Amino acid sequence: MTAQIEEVRFNLPHIELAAHLYGPADGLPVIALHGWLDNAASFSHLAPRLPGLRIVALDQAGHGHSSHRAPGSGYQLWDYALDVLLVADQLGWQKFALLGHSMGAIVSLLLAGAVPERISRLALIDGLIPYTGEAAQAPQKLGEALRAQLALAGKQKPVYAEIEQAIQARMKGVGAVSHEAASRLAQRGLMPVAGGYTWRTDSRLTLPSPLRLTRAHAVAFLDAVQCPLSLVLAEQGMLLVEPRFTEVLEGRPFTVQRLPGGHHLHLDSAAGAQVVADCFNPFFAGP
């Protein structure tokens, strides 16, 4: 399936973000947020299969064609949340839906819990609450993060002589993907350098988090969501293997559908994208 894609950019007060724009101008407003180390191409199979939506698929900060954050800045989840609100304000969208995958789903949930008056619907793919940490672990985790930041200057990104080598490496990365998915991500995510190609992503994205929310914090955001929520879980994805994750789902008033496929089931193949679309189309069309 092919669809017209418009490349757009948003000049925010602190950063410039790139995005793909899909759908009719009068469609239901939706901001789509990809996962960690991915880019807007994550939705290139799925977005054309969601008719009637005006989808802005962002390259989140530090990813794809978007700018990197300023020196001394970080990539915390709440920083992404602010970016989304500023993009929505530029679009004139007082209320909008969120379509999120993995890290993008987590950012979507935090936004819906924090500013429920702005979010109309949540459509999430293999992502929900953030990875958590308890108070006793906080000093150790902050120390690890600070040491990693100091060591980053001495590290270099890998350079691939051929694009296919980068695609093969991405297939084996965190959240392993199909060749089709890796090719789409690479097409938008690579840039030429001396000796070949490397990823556009900011190296700081690989640093460990200096602070994690506790489980109680994470669940509180879920409890604060007021809009309809539809969650697609991949049978071979990353959520179902998380300890105690099923406890989070128990008794929750939202739709959960388990589908065959891996963490990137919406991008790994056209067939996988269609199955996800078949879940979300009725959801977006609902009251």
Question: Residue 56 carries which DSSP code?
Answer: E
Percent of the chain whose predicted confidence (pLDDT) is above 70 = 99
244 — pLDDT class (breaks 50, 70, 90): confident
Query: 121 and 284 in contact (C-beta within 8 Å)?
Result: yes
Question: Quick check: 271 pLDDT over 80?
Answer: yes
Task: Please tell me the predicted confidence (pLDDT) of residue 134.
Answer: 94
- The residue extents of the domains of the chain are 6-135+211-285
Task: Please tell me the predicted confidence (pLDDT) of residue 250.
Answer: 86
242 — pLDDT class (breaks 50, 70, 90): confident
Q: What is the mean pLDDT of residues 188-204?
A: 97
204 in the Ramachandran plot: left (φ > 0), alpha (ψ -120 to 50) or beta? alpha
Alpha-carbon distance values, 163 to 8, 169, 183, 196 (Å):
25, 10, 9, 8
Q: What is the mean pLDDT of residues 183-189?
A: 97
Spatial separation of the C-alpha atoms in residues 101 and 103, rounded to whole Å: 6
Model confidence pLDDT, tens digit, residues 59-99: 999 999 999 999 989 899 999 999 999 999 999 999 999 99
Number of C-alpha atoms within 13 angstroms, CB side, residue 183? Answer: 7
Alpha-carbon distance values, 221 to 53, 99, 113 (Å):
26, 17, 5
Alpha-carbon distance values, 226 to 55, 109, 122, 253 (Å):
21, 11, 10, 10
Spatial separation of the C-alpha atoms in residues 46 and 269, rounded to whole Å: 10
Residues involved in catalysis: 102
Q: How high does pLDDT run on average in the chain?
A: 95
Contacts of 175 (CB under 8 A, 6+ apart): 35, 36, 102, 238, 262, 263, 264
Amino acid identity for residue 71 in this structure:
P
243 — pLDDT class (breaks 50, 70, 90): confident
Contacts of 133 (CB under 8 A, 6+ apart): 141, 211, 212, 213, 214
1 — pLDDT class (breaks 50, 70, 90): low
106 — pLDDT class (breaks 50, 70, 90): very high
Burial class (CB in 10 A: 0-12, 13-18, 19+), 23: buried
Query: 34 and 60 in contact (C-beta within 8 Å)?
Result: yes
Task: Please tell me the predicted confidence (pLDDT) of residue 272.
Answer: 97
Spatial separation of the C-alpha atoms in residues 258 and 122, rounded to whole Å: 16
Model confidence pLDDT, tens digit, residues 11-61: 999 999 999 999 999 999 999 999 999 999 999 999 999 999 999 999 999
Query: 60 and 17 in contact (C-beta within 8 Å)?
Result: yes
Spatial separation of the C-alpha atoms in residues 57 and 52, rounded to whole Å: 15
Question: Quick check: 2 pLDDT over 80?
Answer: no
Assessment of whether the complete model's pTM goes beyond 0.75: yes
Task: Please tell me the predicted confidence (pLDDT) of residue 4.
Answer: 80
Spatial separation of the C-alpha atoms in residues 105 and 237, rounded to whole Å: 14
Q: What is the CATH number of domain 6-135+211-285?
A: 3.40.50.1820
174 — pLDDT class (breaks 50, 70, 90): confident
